[in-house]
Amino acid sequence: MGFMTRSKDGHLDNSSHLYFEDKPGAEMLSMHAEKDMRVSVENNKDVTIDGTRTTTILKEQKDDVTGDAVFNYHATRTTTVDKKETKTFKDGEKTTITNGPRS
């Protein structure tokens, strides 16, 4: 079951949709925006994922954080940069290693 809106003068493949699958063992919610998608939250946004999260961005990602940012990883973290990485620190940098050698 779902909802579909078609772009003006568009074909079936020019649409946005919200689709629900309720078959036992295959439950799913699918959402598609034919062009842009904007989400606005007046207060807090909390997301909990009990499985795996995969995000694929085909062009670029921009994040603009006005307040503090905290990232906690409770398992191994691997980062791969295939091309040049540039970092700019305007008010210092601190690195603390508490267990094991740095490689």
Rounded to the nearest angstrom, the gap between the alpha carbon of residue 83 and the centroid of all alpha carbons in its chain is 21
pLDDT tens figures, 71-97:
999 999 999 999 999 999 999 999 988
Tokens standing for 51? 């499985």
Residue closest to 29 by CA, chosen among 21, 37, 41, 40: 21
Q: State the Cα–Cα distance between residues 18 and 34, nearest whole angstrom.
A: 11
pTM (predicted TM-score): 0.72
- Residue pair 6/35 in contact by the 8 Å Cβ criterion: no
Q: Which residue has the higher pLDDT, 49 or 11?
A: 49
Going from N- to C-terminal start, the domains of the chain cover 2-32
pLDDT tens figures, 37-60:
999 999 999 999 999 999 999 999
Q: State the Cα–Cα distance between residues 5 and 38, nearest whole angstrom.
A: 16
Q: State the Cα–Cα distance between residues 31 and 17, nearest whole angstrom.
A: 6
Sign, CA dihedral 71-42-35-48, equals positive
Q: State the Cα–Cα distance between residues 19 and 38, nearest whole angstrom.
A: 18
What was the pLDDT predicted at 65? 96
